[in-house]
Structure 1
Amino acid sequence: MRTLILSAIAIASFSSISHAATFGVTPQVGLAGAGATVQWGFNEYLALSAGYTGLDRSISDVKTDDATYDADISIKNPQLFVNWAPFGGHFRMSFGVVAQNSKVDLVGRDFDPASGVSSATVKAEFAQSIAPAFTLGWETPLDKVGFGYHFSIGAMYAGKPEVDANIQCTITCVGLEQDEERKIEDELSKYKVLPILQAGVLYRL
């Protein structure tokens, strides 16, 4: 994967925008929020794209066995992809990396009285800052100028989350912070591989 990205950067270094077959801009929306991508098309088969998507969202009433949590989710994802259209048409495959910055802040309430917990805040983030990614997509052929469409579906490897819990108790809290961190880590570890779904309208010169 690293060799692939370095090769793409090398291609871009020797091919200025003025010499590229096309240059495009794609506003897009998807599971990771809204953003935009710029694309350098070298020919009908190969292009390099760089972009950004972001999302800030609050979710209330996330229930567990012992409490209810309110969550603030922040996603900021710069990304770089090599786009390959093996048949020179609408279908393409993209290989790349996402410099993910994904965080989740949780605030607990309505605790089970038997737990002895009075308040809890949990901060979680994914430690895999550079996430390898792969998508399949359909878009207007790389050598076509004017307005077109873009659609991608795939996944990226986010890695194991890092969790920090701060818990206050009505009685002793010995071991409770570690237990809560473990529970949240176990839950978020189900999402080491995150889906990618993006769609947008593109314009190429």
Structure 2
Amino acid sequence: MKFIKLSAISAAILASTAALAAEPVIVVDEADAVVYEAEPVAVAYEAEPVAVAYQAEPAYAYNADAGIVRNTTGAVFGGTKTFFQTAVNPAAVSAEVGTLGYGANIAWAMNEKTELQAGWAGGDVADLFGGDFDADDVNYDVDADFSNPYLGVQYRPAANWFTMGAGIIVPDNDIDVTANADGDFFNLDGIQYNAAQTGNLEGSLEHRNKLAPYGTIGFRPNIGNNWGVFGEIGAAYMGKTDATVRAVDPDSVVNYTDRNGNQTATTAGQVAKIAEQELEDKDWLEWFPIVKLGATYRF
């Protein structure tokens, strides 16, 4: 009889030791991924062996509603569902209007202070910054068709409404310009060229940067449980500009008075080349201003 009791006690001790050495249990349901680690609660010894009970406590948990991986180490070893849930469940969507155009973006929360953004802004926005500009003594009307996809980060350093943003724009902006004569003349490089003989001068501008870094500061207050507004100011470095200016009839003879007061002549094509060089020297919007307003819906 003593042999039977000793055997029962030994079996219970071995069972307890094996349970304590077991790997954590991962439980996955439709919303959450949770790791449970086994901890012993109580062991009873009688003449016959009895069951050993264990209570499970979560080691880490992913909150699908928050869109945040709060324990990255646990997520890596616990499985990939947390990252998948973050990717397909964005933290917010926003609509915006500003100097880059009309657009929208999607944001994913990386933690309580940081959001990753992907968006696009574009359209005909020339009127938003005046619709014209001056290059030396010539005024140009602007017709723009913008396309500005971007990827950036919004950071809340004090975990409040104040934000700092940075990222990369991939600009594909068509900027067409038309020169306006000053009365009867085009004033180029200090010389007046007969506007009627020159005809229309039309051209285009293109910024050289294919990737444009940007930085902003702004505010993003909430106005309800889900809704918020935002405003941002900053700049993007678009780089220097390449200009092209064309005359309607490049071979047309144009009379002008040179710096020595002599009457001479050139062609409309040569006048267009002078205007083109002045446009490139202007470097119009090399540092492109960013001003935007918008509304955000948070999930």
Query: For residues 42-57 of structure 1, what are the structure 2 equivalents within 5 Å?
Result: 42-57=110-125
Q: Tell me how far apart the structure 1 counterparts of residues 251 and 138 of structure 2 sit (CA, whole Å).
A: 13
Q: 1:133: Cα distance to partner?
A: 0.2
Per the alignment, residue 148 of structure 2 pairs with 77
Structure 1: state its 5+ residue gaps.
1-10
Identify the match of residue 215 of structure 2 among 104, 122, 134.
134
Query: Residue in 2 aligned with 1:19?
Result: 86
* 1:33 paired residue among 91, 101, 106: 101
- Alignment CA distance shift 1:175-1:72 (3 Å): same
- Which of 138, 146, 156 is the aligned partner of 2:226? 146
> Contact 2:179 / 2:201 at 8 angstroms: preserved in 1?
yes
Cα distance, 1:66 vs structure 2: 7.3
Q: Secondary structure at the match of 2:173?
A: strand
Could you tell me which residue of structure 1 aligns to residue 277 of structure 2? 182
Please list, as runs of the form range in 1=range in 2, the aligned pairs for 1:97-116 lying within 5 A after superposition: 97-108=168-179, 110=181, 112=185, 114=194, 116=197
Q: Do 2:168 and 2:214's aligned partners in 1 also have CA atoms closer than 8 Å?
A: yes
Alpha-carbon separation, structure 1, partners of 2:153 and 2:92: 14
Q: Larger radius of gyration, structure 1 or 2?
A: 2
| Higher RCO (CA 8 Å, separation ≥ 6 residues) | 1
Per-residue deviation at 1:135?
0.6
AA of the residue aligned to 2:217 = L
Q: Is the 8 A contact 1:58 1:70 kept in 2?
A: no
Q: Which residue of 2 is the match for residue 166 of structure 1?
A: 246
CA positional deviation for 1:94: 1.1
Residues 119 and 169 in structure 1, CA contact (< 8 A), matched pair in contact too = no
Range with bigger deviation, 92-101 or 52-61: 52-61
CA contact (8 A) 2:136 2:278 kept: no
Q: Which string of whole-angstrom CA distances, capped at 9 and with x for unpartnered residues, describes residues 2-42 of structure 1?
A: xxxxxxxxx9xx86362379611001111222110100012
Aligned to 1:199: 293
Measure, in 1, the Cα distance between the counterparts of 2:240 and 2:198: 26
More strand by share: 1
Cross-structure match for 2:158: 87
* Superposed displacement of residue 68, structure 1: 6.1
- In the superposition, the TM-score normalised over structure 2's length comes to 0.55
Distance 1:76 1:86, change over 3 A: same
SS at match of 2:200: strand
Structure 1's 83 and 67: CA in aligned 2 closer, same or farther, altered over 3 A? closer
Query: In structure 2, what is the equivalent of residue 8 of structure 1?
Result: none
Whole-angstrom distance in 1 between the partners of 2:234 and 2:134 = 29
| 8 Å CA contact retained: 1:137, 1:153 | yes
Structure 2: which 5+ runs fail to align? 1-71, 73-79, 186-192, 254-265
Q: Secondary structure of 1:191's partner?
A: coil
CA contact (8 A) 1:54 1:76 kept: yes
- Contact 2:94–2:297 (Cα < 8 Å) also in 1: yes
Hey, what's the Cα distance between the residues in 2 that align with 1:69 and 1:159? 20
- AA of the residue aligned to 1:16: F
Work out whether residues 135 and 278 of structure 2, in 8 Å CA contact, stay in contact via their aligned partners in 1: no
Return the letter of the residue paired with 1:130: L
Q: Scaled by the length of structure 1, what TM-score is found? A: 0.78
CA RMSD of aligned residues (A): 3.0
Q: Which amino acid aligns with 1:79?
A: Y
